[in-house]
Amino acid sequence: MAITYLEAIREAQAKLLADDPRVFIYGQDVGNFGGAFKATKGLAKEFPGRVLDSPISEDAQVGLAIGAAIEGMRPIIEMQFADFSTCGLNQIINHAATMFWRTNTKCPITVRLPCGGTAGGGPFHSQSMEALYAHYPGLIVLNPATVEDAYSMLIAAVHIDDPVVFCEHKYLYYHLKADALPTEALPIGKARVARPGRDATIVTYSAMLHEALACAEELAKDGWQIEVVDLRSVKPLDTDTILGSVARTGRLLVVGEAFPWGGVTAEVVARVATEGFSLLDAPPMRLNAKDTPVPYHPNLWGTHRPTARAIIGAMRELLHA
C-alpha cells in the first residue's frame, strides 16, 4: 500500500488525536470538509468536537492556540496556505515565540504551513516562509522532505513543548509516495545524509531535496559522487552534520526554494565559512529562487525556482572551481 506525503500528515494527526486528548485541530475548512488539501480528511468525524472550522481570522486562530496551550492543550493550527500565515505573524513571532522566555510558561503550539510552489500557484499561494520564522528566537521550524519525515516529524512537533512552525511542501503532497509509515525516526534537529558522496556536498531541504537528488543521479553518470544532506529541520540547524559532510567533500552548494536575500542557505554558508573555512576547497555556493515574487505562469515559475537542471549547472561550476 503506497502512502503519500499528504496522507502521512493526515495519519500523523489521526494518531496524535487518538493518543493525546490534549490535541485538537483548528483551521479554515478543516472540519467536515477535511481541509483545502484534505490533510484532515475524515478526522472531524473520527474525533468529534476536536477538529474545528475557524473563521477566516489567522491572527485569532493563532491567538486561540496560544491561550489553549497556556492551559495545557496541544493545538494544531492549519493555515490554508503558508502565505496567509502572515496575517497571524504577530501572534506567532511576538506572542508564541516569546512566551517561554518572558514568562517561563510553555507554549506548545504547532502551526502547519502548506508551503512552496506548484504550477500556477502565483505570488500568494507559493511562498516558502521558513526563513522568516527561523529568524525569530523561540520558534522551531521544520521542513520535512520525505513521507516518513512528514509523518514522524509532525508527531514529534506536537510533542515538543515549544511553538513549532511545520512547513509541509504542497508540491510533495501528491507526488511523493512511500510504501509504509515509519516506525522509527531520527530525532528532531538532526540532518540526514540522503545520498553519500565524496566530490561535493549539496545541503538542502524540503522539495529541493528531490531536485538535488536528481542532480546527483545525473552527475553520477559522469562519475561524480555528490553527497546530499537533507536538513529536515532548519531551526535548530544541524551544523555538525553539515560540517561533517563538507569535511568529506571540500565543496558546498546550498539549495533552497525561498527568496535569495538571507535565509536558510545564507545561514548554512555563514556557518560553514565561520566554523569550517579550512574544510573548503572552493568558495561555497548558494542557489535560491529569484528575488521577485513567485510568478504565476509555469514558464516563469520553472525559472524562478531552482530545478535539477539549475542545480546541475551550479554543481558543474563548483566541481570545476
Partner 1 sequence: MLQTSDVTSVKPQTDGRRERYLAAFRWMLLARVFEEKLASLYRGGKVIGGVFLSKGQEALSAALGVALRKGDIYAPLIRDSAGRFAFGESLLDAARTCIGSRLGPMRGREGNIHRGKPREGYYAMISHLGVMVSTVSGGLVARRFKGVRDVVGATCIGDGGTSTGSFHEGLNMAAVEKLPLVVVVANNQYAYSTPTSQQFACADLVDRAIGYGVRGHKIDGTDPQACFDVVGEAVARARAGEGPQMVVADLLRLVGHGEHDDAHYVNHALKVSPIGRDCLEVARAQITAAAWMNAMQIDSLRDQLQAEVESAFATALREPLPDPNLEDWRALSTEALAEGRA
Ligand X SMILES: Cc1ncc(C[n+]2csc(CCOP(=O)(O)OP(=O)(O)O)c2C)c(N)n1
Told to check if 103 binds partner 1 by CB under 8 A, we report: no
Binders in 31-90 for partner 1, by CB under 8 A: 31-33, 36, 53-60, 81, 83-84, 86-87
83 binds, among partner 1, ligand X, none (CB under 5 to 8 A by kind): partner 1
Q: How far is CA 219 from CA 145, 237, 312, 318, in A?
A: 21, 27, 7, 12
Cα–Cα distance for residue pair 77/190, rounded to 1 Å: 24
290 is a site residue for partner 1 (CB under 8 A): yes
The site string for partner 1 over 114-143 (x = CB under 8 A, - otherwise) reads -----xxxxxxx------------------
Which neighbouring-strand residues pair with 229? 193, 203
**3 state SS of 56:** coil
* Partners of residue 255 on adjacent β-strands: 287
* Annotated catalytic residue 135: no
Does 166 engage in binding with ligand X (CB under 6 A)? no
284 scored as a contact of partner 1 (CB under 8 A): no
User: Strands of 233-235's sheet, edge to edge?
Assistant: 51-53, 23-27, 74-78, 110-115, 164-169, 140-142, 233-235
DSSP state of 52: E
Q: With respect to partner 1, which residue has the nearer C-beta, 120 or 137?
A: 120
From 79, 80, 103, select the one nearest 92 (Cα to Cα).
79
User: Using the rule CB under 6 A, is 87 a contact of ligand X?
Assistant: yes
Q: Judge contact between 84 and 111, C-beta under 8 A.
A: no
Positions in the binding site for partner 1 (CB under 8 A): 28-29, 31-33, 36, 53-60, 81, 83-84, 86-87, 119-125, 260-261, 288-293, 295-300, 302-304
Residues interacting with ligand X, by CB under 6 A? 28, 56, 58, 80, 84, 87
Q: Which residues are catalytic?
A: 125
